[in-house]
Structure 1
Amino acid sequence: MERPINRPEDPLVLNGIDGTTGQYLVPPIALPAAAEVAEPQGQAAYFEAWRKWLEYVPLTTRFGLPFDVRPEVYAEAGWGVVFPASASEALRQSLDPLLVHRHARVEPGRFHILTYQPGETAHQFLQRYGAAIGDVDPDAVPYYLLLVGGPDAIPFDVQHSLSLSYAVGRLSFDTTEEYARYAASVVAYETDEFVPNHRQVSWWGPKHPGDRSTELSADSLVAPLARGAPLEQPPQLAKTLAAKARYTSRDAIEDDATREWLLEALHGRVERPAVLFTASHGVGFKANDPLQLAKQGALLSQDWSGFGAMTPEHYVAASDIQDDAKLHGLVAFFFACFGVGTPAHDEFPMTASRGGDALANAPFIAALPRRLLAHPNGGALAVIGHVERAWGFSIKPLQMTQATILPFRNTLGWIMGGLPVGYALKDFRDRLSDANNILLTHLDANTSNGKLQPRELLHRWIERNDARNYVVLGDPAVSIRQTALKTLP
C-alpha cells in the first residue's frame, strides 16, 4: 500500500530550495508550532490581513456571463486590456498590433481598454466600470482581461480577486520592445499561415532522494498525468491526455529529468512541444540577493546533487534560453515555487516569529517566463505557474489518502483541446472558492457550525492560498491551434 505522503505527525515541508546554500528555503516546521499561526491567541497583523482579504471575495466562484455567451469563446465573452494609470504612451503603442487583432474579432461593444488606478481593490476597479465581482457583463468589463505591468503597478491581490470571476492574464516586461515582440508573436501565431503547428506534450519531473516534495510531485502528479494511471497501477496509454487530444508524448521523470533534457525541449533541439508541464523545486534567493531578480523561480533539475550543494548547472534559468530557441506556440505550466512570480512578503508565515517576512524588496514577475514570452525568435503563448511557493496540498490534501489531480488534468486537457488558457484554469478557481467558503464559515460569528481545529484551519489556509496563487502570464485568450493554417513544405 502506498505510504501517505502527508501524515498527521509529519512536519510541514515548505517547497523551494535556496539557490545559495542548497537547503530548504524554510526548514521543516513541526505542526504544533505552525498551528498557533493559523489561529493566534493574541493580536497578529498577518492574521487580520488574511481575514480582511477573505471578506473581499464572493462566497462562490460564478462565471456570471449572460446565458447566451459561451465563456470559452472570447469573441462572445469579450476581451479587454488593463493598463495602469502610469503606463506610458510608448508602452500602450507597443501592444497596438495585439489590440487591433483582438478588436477585430470580438463582438461589437465587447472590446475595452481599461485603466487601473493606484490603490484600488478589484471590487473598486470593477465598480468604477459598472460591474461587480461575480456578475460579468462583457459590455461593461469583458470576461478576458489582460493586465499590463508588474505587480508593483497592478498588485497580485487584484489579479487573484479578478480571477475568481474573469479569465485574467498578465504581461510584465522591462522594455517596450519585449511587449512589442510578444504582441507580434501572438498575432503571427494566430494569423500567419507559415507558422508551424505542433501537437506534442512534454512532461518533466525530477525526484530527489530523501525529498518529500519531489517524491510527491514526480510519483503522484507527473507520472499519473503522463501514463494515464497512478504509479502503482499499469499504464493506461489509451486514457492519457496525449491520447485523448491526439498528441504525441515525451516524458522525463526522476533520473531522466535532467537540465539538458529540459533545455532541449525549450530549444526545440530534439522535439518541439506545444505543451510543456514541469513539476520541480523552484530556486529561491533571499531579499537583497543580487541574483534574486534574474534567478528566482529557476527550475531545479535532477542534476542537483542534494542538500548543501548548488550551482547554476543544477537549474534552468532565463539566461540559459538562447536566441535560437524554438518556442513559438508553446504553452508552459511550471509547478514550482516562485515559478512565475514573487510577492513582497511571505504569505505562509508558519511560526509566530515569521509573520509576513520580506521575500523581496518589491513584488516581481520571474525572469524565466518573461524570457520565454518575449523571445526574439517567436515567443511562448502563455506560461502558467505559481506566485509564492507551490505546495503538495495541490496534489494531496492532508485528509486524502490518494492524489487529487483533477484540476491539473482538466486544465491541461482543455489547453491541449484548444480552449483559451485563461478559461482553462477555472478548476483552480473553483478550488479557491471552495476553500474560501470553508474559511469564511469558520470566521462567521453567527454560526457554531463549520468551526475548525487550529491544525485543520492551518491546512485549509494553506490550501486556499495555494489555489489562489496559480496565475497566467500572457494573453488569457490565446489557445493552441488545432489545425495548421497551411501545410508547410
Structure 2
Amino acid sequence: MTAESAPAYPSELRVNAWTGGETAAGPLGPRARGWALSGHGRALPQLLAPEEEADPADWRDPRVGWGLVLPDDDALPDDVKARGDDAPEPLRELLAARSGSPVLRYRTETELRFTHLRRYYTDRSVQDIALSGPERGTGVGALPRYLLLYGGPDVIPWDFQYLANQSAAVGRLTLTGVGLENYVTALLGNWPGSAARPTHTVVWAADHGPADITRVMRTAIAARVQRSLAGDSEIGAHARYLDGGQHQATAAALYQALGDHHPALVVTTSHGKTGPLTDPAAMVRDLGLPVDDEYSIVDPARVLDAWQPDGAIWYAHACCSAGSDGSTIYAGLLEAGSWVDQVLTGIAGIGAHVAPLPEALLGAPRPLRAFIGHVEPTFDWTIQNPHTGQKLTTSICRGLYDGLFRPAPVGLALREPYSHVGELFAQRDSAYRAFDEGADSAGVAMATTLAARDRQSMVVLGDPTVGVPPLPSRAR
C-alpha cells in the first residue's frame, strides 16, 4: 500500500450501535495512538483460526495417537495400572519408546464392555472413555486412533475388537516370551535390514471348481488384487500369482515362492482347516490353516523353514485364519444338524483361540509385521451379491493395494471395509421396517446381515501402526 492510499489517521469513528436517538459516533481520545500501537515489537498473537487437521497416518501426532489396551485387574493399584507395570517387559519397553501413549483397560461390566475403555491416571483419577464420539488422541479423556490389544480372546473378546474396529484402527498381540521379544524388537527398530521387498508380492488362490466358494474368492479377491499389483509400474512382473484355476496353488509352490521372492505382501484365499470335528485337539492345532488345491494344509513350520517373514504383511481370506470364538455370530442361521451347522458348532466348541499360522509368523526370529484374517467363516453371499452378482470386495482389494502401498498403516488401510459394517446394519434396519410394513424384505435382511458380520470378523493381528515398506518412488 502506497503512502497516498494509506488510510489517514481518523478524527472520529462511527459504531453500529443505536440507542434510539442519534447515530453513534465519537472523537478519538488522547490515548488512542498508544492503544493502536500497544504491543508494537512483540510477536503477533495466535489467531483463533482452525489448526490444520492431523494426518490420520501419523500415529505419533498426539491428536491421533496410539494406545495399549490391557485387561483390567482390580487387585492392582491404580498408579500401576496407569503405567502398565503389569505388562510383559517388551511391552513396557514399547510404552517407554512411545512416550505419552496411554494404557487403557478393558472392563467386563455389561455397562462398559461394549462401549468404553477405562483409563487410570498417575494422580489416581479414573475415567471411562467412550469408543464412539470422544476427543481423539492421547490427551486426557481422549481415545487414540490406533489401539493395540494385548491378550487372547479369552480375556479381551473378539467381540470387543469387532466393536472397537468401528472407531479405531485396532490390532492384537497374544505372543509371550521369546516370540513377544522378537516382535517388539523388530517393531521398535522398524524391521532393520528387512529382506521384504516392497516391489515383490505373492498372491495364492486355491480353486476347487465352479461349485466351490474358493472359485468366488479367487475371482472376487485374489484375481482383483493381482491385477492391481501387476499393473503397478514398480511391481509389475514381480507380482507373483499362484493361480488355483491353473492348478498352481499348492502348499509346496507357496513355500518356494515365499523363499525365492521375499514378498512384502502375501495374499491367500482358500478354505481354512476346521476339522476333524471329532478331534478338538487337532482342530486347535490346525485351526484356520490354508487348504491348497490338493486339500493339503499350509504348515507354519514349513513356511518358516522356507522363509522368514521379516517385515511382510499377510492377508488370509479363509475360515478361522485369525482364530476361533466360543460362540458363533451365525448361531441360528443354518438348519440344526446340517453339515455347516455342525461345522459352526464344532468350531465354537473348541473355544476362543488365535490361529497357529499368525502366531508362528508374528513370533518368528524375523517376524511378520501384521496378519489380517477372519475369525468366522465367509459365505458366498458376503463377497458376491446374490441378486446382481456384483462383487462386494472392492474395499478389501483397495485396502490391500491402494491403502498399503500408498503407504498407509495397516489399521488405516482397512478403514473402508470396516466402515461398511455400519452401512450394512443400517440397510438391514430399513429391511426390518419394510418387513414390519408387509414387504417381503427377508432376503435383503439376510444379505446385509451376512455381509456385515463377515466384515466384523476380519481382524488385524500385530500392531496397527505398521505398514509395508514403501516402494522406491515413495521412499524417495
Match of 1:181 in 2: 182
Greater relative CO, 1 or 2 (CA 8 Å, sep 6+): 1
Q: What residue identity is the alignment partner of 2:227?
A: R
Superposition deviation, residue 208 in structure 1 = 1.1
Match of 1:72 in 2: 57
Please give the alpha-carbon distance, in whole angstroms, between the structure 2 residues aligned to 1:78 and 1:247: 38
Matched-pair contact (CA < 8 Å) for 1:382–1:472: yes
Number of aligned residues: 388
Of 432, 445, 458 in structure 2, the residue corresponding to residue 470 of structure 1 is 458
Q: Deviations over 1:219-239 (max 9, x none)?
A: 3332232135xxxxxxxxxx8
Matched-pair contact (CA < 8 Å) for 1:144–1:476: yes
Q: Deviations over 1:269-318 (max 9, x none)?
A: x11100000111111023761112220100000122xxxxxxxxx11133
Match of 1:437 in 2: 426
Of 249, 253, 256 in structure 2, the residue corresponding to residue 264 of structure 1 is 256
Q: Secondary structure at the match of 2:116?
A: helix
Q: Deviations over 1:67-100 (max 9, x none)?
A: 7122222122100000112599674323233333
Compared CA separation, residues 483 and 280, structure 1 to 2 (3 A): closer
Please give the alpha-carbon distance, in whole angstroms, between the structure 2 residues aligned to 1:253 and 1:323: 23
1:1-80 matched pairs, under 5 angstroms: 68-76=53-61, 77-80=64-67
Q: Secondary structure at the match of 1:96?
A: helix
Match of 1:367 in 2: 356
Higher deviation after alignment, 120-129 or 294-303: 120-129
Matched-pair contact (CA < 8 Å) for 1:202–1:277: yes
Matched-pair contact (CA < 8 Å) for 2:255–2:307: no
Say yes or no: does 1:480 pair with 2:474: no
Match of 1:325 in 2: 307
Superposition deviation, residue 481 in structure 1 = 2.3
Match of 2:7 in 1: none
Say yes or no: does 1:302 pair with 2:302: no
Say yes or no: does 1:395 pair with 2:383: yes
Match of 1:426 in 2: 415
Matched-pair contact (CA < 8 Å) for 1:275–1:416: no
Please give the alpha-carbon distance, in whole angstroms, between the structure 2 residues aligned to 1:451 and 1:276: 44
Superposition deviation, residue 202 in structure 1 = 1.0
Cα RMSD of the aligned pairs, angstroms, is: 2.9
Q: Secondary structure at the match of 2:178?
A: helix
Please give the alpha-carbon distance, in whole angstroms, between the structure 2 residues aligned to 1:399 and 1:126: 44
Matched-pair contact (CA < 8 Å) for 2:432–2:445: no
Match of 2:227 in 1: 227
Q: Secondary structure at the match of 2:459?
A: strand
Please give the alpha-carbon distance, in whole angstroms, between the structure 2 residues aligned to 1:419 and 1:450: 46
Compared CA separation, residues 430 and 400, structure 1 to 2 (3 A): farther
Indicate the structure with greater strand content.
2
Superposition deviation, residue 360 in structure 1 = 2.9
Q: What residue identity is the alignment partner of 1:325?
A: W
Matched-pair contact (CA < 8 Å) for 2:131–2:164: no
Q: Deviations over 1:347-383 (max 9, x none)?
A: 223235368836234211101111010102x100000
1:341-356 matched pairs, under 5 angstroms: 341-349=323-331, 350-351=333-334, 353=336
Superposition deviation, residue 346 in structure 1 = 2.5
Please give the alpha-carbon distance, in whole angstroms, between the structure 1 residues aligned to 2:209 and 2:169: 38
Q: What residue identity is the alignment partner of 1:351?
A: L
Match of 2:136 in 1: 137
Matched-pair contact (CA < 8 Å) for 1:242–1:249: no
Q: Secondary structure at the match of 1:214?
A: helix
Matched-pair contact (CA < 8 Å) for 1:294–1:318: no
Match of 1:232 in 2: none
Q: Secondary structure at the match of 1:480?
A: coil
Matched-pair contact (CA < 8 Å) for 2:131–2:167: no
Q: What residue identity is the alignment partner of 1:396?
A: Q
Matched-pair contact (CA < 8 Å) for 1:422–1:472: yes
Match of 1:195 in 2: 194
Higher deviation after alignment, 421-430 or 474-483: 474-483
Please give the alpha-carbon distance, in whole angstroms, between the structure 2 residues aligned to 1:451 and 1:141: 42
Of 81, 92, 100 in structure 1, the residue corresponding to residue 88 of structure 2 is 92
Compared CA separation, residues 450 and 325, structure 1 to 2 (3 A): farther
Matched-pair contact (CA < 8 Å) for 1:338–1:366: yes
Q: Deviations over 1:28-71 (max 9, x none)?
A: xxxxxxxxxxxxxxxxxxxxxxxxxxxxxxxxxxxxxx971222
Please give the alpha-carbon distance, in whole angstroms, between the structure 1 residues aligned to 2:231 and 2:376: 28
Compared CA separation, residues 75 and 201, structure 1 to 2 (3 A): same
Match of 2:68 in 1: 81
Q: What residue identity is the alignment partner of 1:71?
A: P
Compared CA separation, residues 225 and 243, structure 1 to 2 (3 A): farther
Of 268, 285, 301 in structure 2, the residue corresponding to residue 278 of structure 1 is 268
Matched-pair contact (CA < 8 Å) for 2:319–2:377: yes
Q: What residue identity is the alignment partner of 2:429?
A: L
Say yes or no: does 1:156 pair with 2:152: no
Of 316, 321, 328 in structure 2, the residue corresponding to residue 339 of structure 1 is 321
Q: Secondary structure at the match of 1:94?
A: helix
Superposition deviation, residue 452 in structure 1 = 5.7
Q: Secondary structure at the match of 2:98?
A: helix
Q: Deviations over 1:6-28 (max 9, x none)?
A: xxxxxxxxxxxxxxxxxxxxxxx
Match of 1:171 in 2: 173
Q: Secondary structure at the match of 1:115?
A: strand
Please give the alpha-carbon distance, in whole angstroms, between the structure 2 residues aligned to 1:83 and 1:453: 42
Q: Secondary structure at the match of 2:271?
A: coil
Match of 1:291 in 2: 282
Compared CA separation, residues 393 and 70, structure 1 to 2 (3 A): farther
Provide the TM-score with structure 2 as the length reference.
0.74
